[in-house]
Structure 1
Amino acid sequence: MKVITSGSAYLDIDAYACCIAYAELLNLQGIPARAVSSAKPNASVSKTVLGWGAVLHDYRPTSNDEFVLVDVSDYHHFDPLVALDRVVEVIDHHPGFEEYWAQTLGADADIRPIGAAATQVFQRWKAAGLLSRMSEQSAALLATAILDNTLNFTGQMTTTADIDAYAELVLHAKLTEDWPSHYFLECQASIESDISAALAADLKRMKPESRLPEVFAQMTVWDAEALIEKYRSEICRCMRGQGDDWLLNVICISQRKSCLLAEPVVSQQRLSRLLPVEWQAGLAVLKPSILRKELLSLGLNANSGG
């Protein structure tokens, strides 16, 4: 059996959608597969999304299982149920481990710069000629994952492939025109209901070679300024509890910008070495918005002299 899974820390909408939709495709092709995760969905998997009824599978490991990793390629952060020597495919859009997996899996490693891993999964459905048989739930999940990961198509990593995939999926899923605003507002409400849990659910510890602050949290909301103004003291208290070098990227969909919050001067300095930012009382604004993986690419390229 093929076990489709993702990272260990949290399950965002891209990983959640990819696990479920790719397992569905493989099963349609006569390849036994299960969508599995030890991690809990974060705020990007909203109440409406959960209400669509697509679920992860129960799983009891066997020694014959093979693993497919989606939306993650850093093997330090794989779901703990994964046996590294039995990984047979990787589908991801995060930089850093392309060479390792190209050497390990060859063509079965699909790691490339694209807005959403969901687009890569959609392309597999299309290549298989089975798009008409995709469930409405999987279509809606993949479409929403593309919305989220491309920042409503304003993100710098958005590609034509993402836009085209969404256009097909949104029709198949029968999503309404106001779904994007509804979705991001719902995510913001979920985040605001428990700020500390939302921070913990999308927080990564960065390696020194990234040149980024050690602790890097990210959240995507409709109105970033309103959230920071209302919850700044709580956010800073939570982040200080994680260490002395931290950054929060609050992506604002409605105004197409990133609000970066970093109280430690060392954290501000790290970011200022990578790109021009002006800090005022621990806050900086970037237009257009930028994703953590884009900042990671900047850091890794700076290391390589690129």
Structure 2
Amino acid sequence: MKIITSGASYLDIDAYACCIAYAELLNLQGVPARAVSSAKPNSSVSPTVLSWGAAFHGYTPQVKDEFVLVDVSDYHHFDPLVVLDQVVEVIDHHPGHEPYWAERLGSAADIRPIGAAATLVFRRWQAAGLLPRISEQSAALLATAILDNTLNLTGQMTTELDIEAYAALAQRAKLAANWPERYFLECQAAIEADLQSALAADLKRFKAESNLPQVFAQMTVWDADGLLHKHRNEICGWMDGQGDDWLLNVIGIRDGQSCLLAEPVVSQQKLNRLLALQWRAAMAVVKPSMLRKQLLKLGLNFTPV
């Protein structure tokens, strides 16, 4: 049995969609597969997405199980059910662990700079000649994951492959033309309804060699300025409780910008080494918007002068 799973701390829409859609593809190809996760979906898996009823499977470990990792390649952050020596495939778009997996898995490690891991899963459906048989549910999930990870197809990491994949999947899923705005507004409403849980659900901790603030939270909403205006005090109070070196990246889809909030001076100094930023009241605006994985790549490539 192939177990399709992702990271340990949370399931964002990209991981959620990839697990479901890739398990469906493998089963169509006659390869027994299950989408499994011990992590909970975060706010990017909106109420409407949840209403589509995508089901993860229960899991009882078997000795001969093989693991496929989607939307994650850092083995420090795998779902705890994963047996590292039994990983047979990795599908990801996060930088930093390409040499490790290339040595272990060769071409079965598909880690490349692209907007969404969902696009790589779409390409597998396409290459198998089975795209006409994809379920509306899986098509909708993959399309929404591409929207989210490419910031409504406007993010700096967006490629022509992402745009092509979204168009094909949205058509198969019969998504409405206004789905992107509806989706991001739903995500914002879910975040504002339980802000601290939303922060915790998309927070990563980095070591010094990343050259980033040690505590790095991220959220994608429709109106970043509005969210920060209403909730800044609560956000800063909660982030202060996580450590004295932190950053929150609030990505605003409507305005196509990232609002970087970092009250600790040490955190601002780290970011100033990577980007030309102007800080006002502990906030800097980056336009076009940037994702955490882009900042991570800048940090990993940074060489002190």
TM-score (norm 2): 0.99
Q: Which residue of 2 aligns with 1:259?
A: 259
Q: Which residue of 2 aligns with 1:296?
A: 296
Counterparts in 2 of 1:234-273, with a 5 A limit?
Answer: 234-273=234-273
Q: Which residue of 1 aligns with 2:6?
A: 6
Q: Say if 1:222 and 1:253, in contact at 8 Å, map to a contact too.
A: yes
Q: Say if 1:222 and 1:254, in contact at 8 Å, map to a contact too.
A: yes
Distance in 1, Cα, partners of 2:209 & 2:110: 23
Q: Which range is displaced more, 200-209 or 137-146?
A: 200-209
Counterparts in 2 of 1:48-59, with a 5 A limit?
Answer: 48-59=48-59
State the Cα distance separating 1:55 from its structure 2 match: 1.2
Q: Say if 1:3 and 1:34, in contact at 8 Å, map to a contact too.
A: yes
State the Cα distance separating 1:208 from its structure 2 match: 1.3
Distance in 2, Cα, partners of 1:280 & 1:303: 27
Runs of 4+ in 1 over 6 A off after TM superposition: none
Q: 3-state SS of the aligned residue for 2:302?
A: helix
Distance in 1, Cα, partners of 2:187 & 2:219: 9
| Cα-Cα RMSD | 0.9
Q: Which residue of 2 aligns with 1:155?
A: 155
Counterparts in 2 of 1:1-306, with a 5 A limit?
Answer: 1-303=1-303
Q: 3-state SS of the aligned residue for 1:67?
A: strand
State the Cα distance separating 1:105 from its structure 2 match: 0.2
Q: Say if 1:115 and 1:149, in contact at 8 Å, map to a contact too.
A: yes
Deviations 1:40-73 (A, max 9, x none): 0000000000001111111111111100000000
State the Cα distance separating 1:209 from its structure 2 match: 1.4
Deviations 1:21-58 (A, max 9, x none): 00000000010000001100000000000001111111
Distance in 2, Cα, partners of 1:101 & 1:299: 21
Distance in 2, Cα, partners of 1:258 & 1:184: 15
Q: Say if 1:191 and 1:198, in contact at 8 Å, map to a contact too.
A: yes
Q: 3-state SS of the aligned residue for 1:85?
A: helix
Distance in 2, Cα, partners of 1:208 & 1:296: 12
Distance in 2, Cα, partners of 1:151 & 1:294: 13
* Unpaired runs of at least 5, structure 2: none
Q: Say if 1:2 and 1:67, in contact at 8 Å, map to a contact too.
A: yes
Distance in 1, Cα, partners of 2:144 & 2:137: 11
State the Cα distance separating 1:154 from its structure 2 match: 1.0
Q: What amino acid maps onto 2:153 in structure 1?
A: F
Q: What amino acid maps onto 2:133 in structure 1?
A: R
Q: What amino acid maps onto 2:298 in structure 1?
A: L
Q: 3-state SS of the aligned residue for 2:81?
A: coil
Q: What amino acid maps onto 1:16 in structure 2?
A: Y
TM-score (norm 1): 0.99
